[in-house]
Every structure is written in C-alpha cells, then in structure tokens.
Structure 1
Amino acid sequence: MSELAVRMAQAGGPEVMVLASVVLADPGPGEVRIRHVACGLNYIDIYHRSGAYPLPTPTGLGMEGSGVVEAVGPEVTHLAVGDRVAYASQPAGAYATARVMPARCVVRLPEFLSFEQGAAMMLKGLTVQYLLRKTLPQDGLQSGDFILFHAAAGGVGLIACQWAKALGLQLIATAGSDDKCALALRHGAAFAINYQRENFADRVREITGGAGVKVVYDSVGATTWEGSLASLRPFGLMVSFGSASGAVPPIALSALAGKALYLTRPSIFVHLSSQAATQAMADDLFEVVRSGAVSIEVENRYALKEVQQAHREMESRRTTGSGVLLV
C-alpha cells in the first residue's frame, strides 16, 4: 500500500523535508494502521528536523495526529477498525496520509471533538496535563498559588492558561509581544509579561509581593533560565520541558542551593509509556475540554505539501495557538 509521507535524509532547515511515496505494511502485534485526517504541528518537530533532538535518518517527522483506524494487528484489544482516534506518540512519522504505529498511545477521539481538534490537542494537552497535574512543587499546588509559564501564547501555553484558571491558579504568562500577552490574558492568565519590554523576573517579584512563584514551567530554555531561577520562591520547582531558544548550558548544582530549589527535566513520552497511563491522561484532558473549561482552537492550517512553510512560520514565532497539517 503506497502512501505519501514527509521524509528527511539528514537534519537541517525546512528544505530537508520532502514529500515522498512510502509503502506501508500490515500492522504487526500491538500495532494499528491509521488513515490520517489531520497531523499536529509542534515545536518538538523542529527540534527533530534541526538535529537538536537527533533522530536516526532517513526518518519521518511528526508526533501527533488524528484519523480513522483501518487495520488492527494482533494483541490490540482497545481499538477496532472504524474507530475515530487521536494520539501523541513515538516514533516520529505523523506527517503522512497514513501510518502503522504502536497502539498503546492511541485513544478513541470523543464525538464532541473534531479531527482537527484531536490533531491539535493531544501532544499539547497531554503535556499540560502532566505539567499541571503531575509535575508539582514540594507541597503541591492549591487554588490561589502563583505559577510562571513561558511561551504562554503558543499551543501548549494557551491550554495551560485555561487549565490553570480552572484549577484556581494564578498563572503569570510571558510572551514576546503585547498582542501575545493579550491573547494569554484572554485565555485565563492572571498576569502577562512582555519579556521584550520588561525584565520578567523583576515583574514576577512585583506581582508576588517579593515572594516568588512556587513553580516555573519553561519550554524556552537558554534565554529564560537565569530569570526563571530568580523568579522562584524558596523550595520552588524549576520545570525545564523544552529549549526553543537553545539548550540550557551545564549548571552547577550550587546554583540551586541559595533557595533550596528543585529542578526537573520531564518528558511526555515517559508518561505515555503504557496504554493504561495514556488513557487515564487522555480522559483527564477530554473531560476538561468537554466541561468547557478548556477550548481547543486551531489557528493555523496547512496542506501536507506546505510543511516547509509551516515550519518556517512556527520557527519564526509568527504563529500563535495550535496548527495542523491537513491530509
């Protein structure tokens, strides 16, 4: 069976991605074949394409998608042919008209969600789920607590703004323009800081009356690292879950000692290591969307053949919210 898929022979700029014909085998044990309707666009795809997160080449790209199950391999019991599904999963390869993949990270897509929403929400929404629900400071998070969330106008950030508000948290958003700050505020952020105009660490101390925040969720990396540490209160938690501005340089553990800070570098795919864990996280995400507390808005749509343009616009940070490739 021949399908179209985005492939790259080596790491590099957007130009290394080409649309190629690939042959799909039947699904093996623990696998399913999915006919895609939409594929999610995420910053991790840029890390993979650029080589920041190296993949063996040649390779496909993309970690998120939605569609319909068209074949089920042995040992798969939770899915059937014809199911509407969505996923966030390794290995890379979602940028395709169809794919064969492990079934453990594939879940049924509720009828109240469109395929576009499914493709736009799984990796981003499950990331927010493990951050706000599982990656917590020493004494947890309670209603009224301050948290700092960088890149708050992106797909992950806008979900986080809404979910944090539903949990009663005071999310302090950072973004790179006044328009992006306004977008974060409209989605539930309690405060927003344009880090192009203000020192965000100084502003955080002002907002919190000098106390600092319990936790920083940072997907930006190198350029926000020092300010993030400075924004934490004693015994605070630094969560580094991405490096859009470049990798955080090696640090001395003594840098954490002054305020007895905690540091973690989590990964969504550790959380999605089993079908039961994936389903439980997805159920939590689907419920917060079904309740209306979180809205999944698809802001950017591209045809599969426009993948290079999609990456250029993502990488330039001209986009806000979530984007999809339509198959």
Structure 2
Amino acid sequence: MHTGTVKAVRIEETGGPEVMQLVDVELPQPGPGMVTVTQQAIGLNFIDTYHRSGLYPIPLPSGLGMEGAGVVTAVGEGAEFAVGDRVAYCSALFGAYAQAVNLPASRLVRIPDGIDFETAAAALLKGQTTEFLLQRVFPMKAGQTCLFHAAAGGVGLLFGQWARAMGVTAIGTVSSAAKAELALAHGYAQVVNYAEENVAERVRELTGGQGVPVVYDGVGRDTFDASLASLQPRGMLVSFGNASGKPEPLDLQTLANMGSLYVTRPTLLTYTASTEDLRMSSAAVFDRLLAGEVQVSIGQRYPLAEVARAHTDLECRLTTGSTLLLP
C-alpha cells in the first residue's frame, strides 16, 4: 500500500471510546521531508485516552495514536529514507491508528535487525520515557537508590529492568500482591504496597532513615506528598505524569522546609525535540533490547477495528504490559 484509500480512526468530538470511528481516508503522496509508513503494529498508550476524552485538548477533528512501526512505502522530496526501510516512531504526529500514515522523516527512527515490528511498537514510547528519566533528567549512577511509583505499569516494568542493568537500586510502589511479584520479577530491589503501607515511612526504613535522592512520579495527585516526604535533603522529585490527576499547587517554601528540594515536570517531547536527541534516545532503547537487559511484554493485541474495546480495557485496568493494535 502506497497512497490512496486507507482505514484510519478519527474523532469528531471528545468523549468515551464510542467517539472513535474507523473510516476510509484518502492518503496523498508524501510531501517534502515526509514519508508514507505502511503500518505493521501500533502502540496503545494511556495518553491516547487523554486525547480522546479531552483531558489533553487537541484540535478536532483528529486522528489518534502516537506510536507505531512499519515499512516505508513512499518517500517525499528530501526525506532521508528509502522504500523498504523498517521504521518506528512515537512523537511524530497524531494519527498512528491507521493502516498507513504520512510522517515527517525527521521524527522516524530505523528499527535495527533483530527487533521485530511488534517489539518496536510496544517498546519505543515507554522505553524512551525510561531512558530520559533514568539517564538525563536525573542521571542515575550505579549504587544509587530511587523510588518509582506504579512499578507494575507499562513504563514501570521497563524502568525496573533498565535500573537493574545500570546497577541502580529501584524501590517500586504497587497496589497489590500480584503487582508486587511482577515488579520484583522486572528488576525492582524492593516494593512498597501503598494500599497497606505508608510509602514515605517505608522508604525511610529501607534507606536507613536517609530517604532517596530522586523520586520518579507519574501518578500525580495521589502520590505527590509521599514523594516529597521520601526525598533526602537536596533530592529531586521528577513529576512526569498525572494518572490520578494534577497535584495541588505547591508552596515553594515547602521545598525549603523539607531540605532544599527540587521539583521538575519534564516531558518526553522536550527531551527528544531535536532529531539528534530522538535518535540517541531510541538507539539506547534498541541497544538495551538487543542486549537482553530489557524485555517488553506484550500483554494483549487487538485488531484496529476493535479500538474501542482496547481503550475500554486499558481504562478499566484490565491490561498488563504493553498493548498493540494490529492494522
């Protein structure tokens, strides 16, 4: 498939899973700097549900989806790829939920030999998130300890393995015994069940009263105070998501009172804004996968036509590991 009519998911309005419609769209020839990617696998991420529901506003009507992997089937003027190249992306444009899509070549990365399309689509966004958190926002060193919330989530499972490969002691928070087992099997040194334990108190116990130099918090409102209370003096809270909603406004004096703490709110898009940073980050992900230091588990696959069911299952916490849509 090069160009012409393709099946794609579109939304005309925000709302529940039912607002997503699988329709025929005309895909034009790729323009300058663009390529057509015929998709082999599409990654489903929690942020997709925010775009669909309107929590993160996007211009409408719109496609959905940010992550995919496939084959280049048409090349626009000046684009640095050839027909037949295997590529992946996770920060190009909206519209990954489609059989084929036109994308800027500068936001694509080549998939190395030894990695299949499904692995690339399941690992790239969560893997790049792990890379920039662990290696750039607060560059962890072997022997250091950190706290990561929602350790059994999609990013959490990759984070635990990557931390272990770096010689970092990762403490993870989970909500059940089953998730605790999963986190421990994916590289976490210790887990704290926040349904039964006081997180900050337990972290202090595990660190000899010290606290940790950094907390990675993608949960938001429900964990923010515990995150600050788990830090050692001059520690950093890396708040990278709002799964439970936005944290309450922060009085800066609190940071002084708790030991000259730092807080940052980074995004993957900022840390991969340049093509150079994007390719460096994706190369790090692929290197860890090829070395066997990180493995991605694909918990479920859905046909593209069943995208509404996929969103429902994700929002109802019925999925494990990564989820793929197959065009």
Q: Same fold (TM over 0.5)?
A: yes
Structure 2 counterpart of 1:285: 285
Are the equivalent residues in 2 in contact too, given 1:105–1:272 (CA < 8 A)?
Answer: no
Are the equivalent residues in 2 in contact too, given 1:151–1:220 (CA < 8 A)?
Answer: yes
Alignment of 1:38-187 (within 5 A): 38-77=41-80, 79-136=81-138, 140-187=139-186
Structure 2 counterpart of 1:34: 37
Residue-by-residue CA offset, 1:163-193 (whole Å, 9 max, x unaligned)? 0000111101112211111101001100112
Structure 1 counterpart of 2:25: 22
Q: Percent identity?
A: 50
Cα distance, 1:249 vs structure 2: 2.3
Are the equivalent residues in 1 in contact too, given 2:43–2:121 (CA < 8 A)?
Answer: yes
- Does structure 1 residue 269 correspond to structure 2 residue 269? yes
Cα distance, 1:9 vs structure 2: 1.2
Count of residues in correspondence between the two structures: 323
Structure 2 counterpart of 1:311, which letter? H
Cα distance, 1:318 vs structure 2: 2.5
118-127 or 283-292, larger mean C-alpha shift? 283-292
Are the equivalent residues in 2 in contact too, given 1:180–1:320 (CA < 8 A)?
Answer: no
TM-score (norm 2): 0.96
Structure 2 counterpart of 1:245: 244
276-285 or 222-231, larger mean C-alpha shift? 276-285
Distance 1:254 1:51 in 2: 33
Any idea what SS the aligned residue of 1:160 has?
helix
Distance 2:99 2:196 in 1: 43
Structure 2 counterpart of 1:129, which letter? E
Q: Deviating runs (4+, > 4 A) in structure 1?
A: none
Structure 2 alignment gaps of length 5 or more? none
Cα distance, 1:271 vs structure 2: 2.0
Residue-by-residue CA offset, 1:147-167 (whole Å, 9 max, x unaligned)? 111111112111100000001
Any idea what SS the aligned residue of 2:23 has?
strand
Structure 2 counterpart of 1:299, which letter? G
Any idea what SS the aligned residue of 1:189 has?
coil
- Does structure 1 residue 226 correspond to structure 2 residue 225? yes
Distance 1:37 1:7 in 2: 19
Among candidates 8, 21, 30, match of residue 5 of structure 1? 8
Distance 1:43 1:165 in 2: 25
9-18 or 217-226, larger mean C-alpha shift? 9-18
Cα distance, 1:25 vs structure 2: 1.2
Cα distance, 1:236 vs structure 2: 0.7
TM-score (norm 1): 0.96
Distance 2:272 2:101 in 1: 19
Structure 2 counterpart of 1:322, which letter? S
Cα distance, 1:275 vs structure 2: 2.0
Are the equivalent residues in 1 in contact too, given 2:92–2:108 (CA < 8 A)?
Answer: no
Residue-by-residue CA offset, 1:87-125 (whole Å, 9 max, x unaligned)? 111321111111011111211111211111011011110
Q: RMSD of the TM alignment (CA)?
A: 1.2
Residue-by-residue CA offset, 1:272-323 (whole Å, 9 max, x unaligned)? 2222221111111111111111112211111111111111121122222111
Cα distance, 1:26 vs structure 2: 1.2
Distance 1:251 1:226 in 2: 10
Cα distance, 1:86 vs structure 2: 0.8
11-20 or 153-162, larger mean C-alpha shift? 11-20
Distance 2:209 2:136 in 1: 26
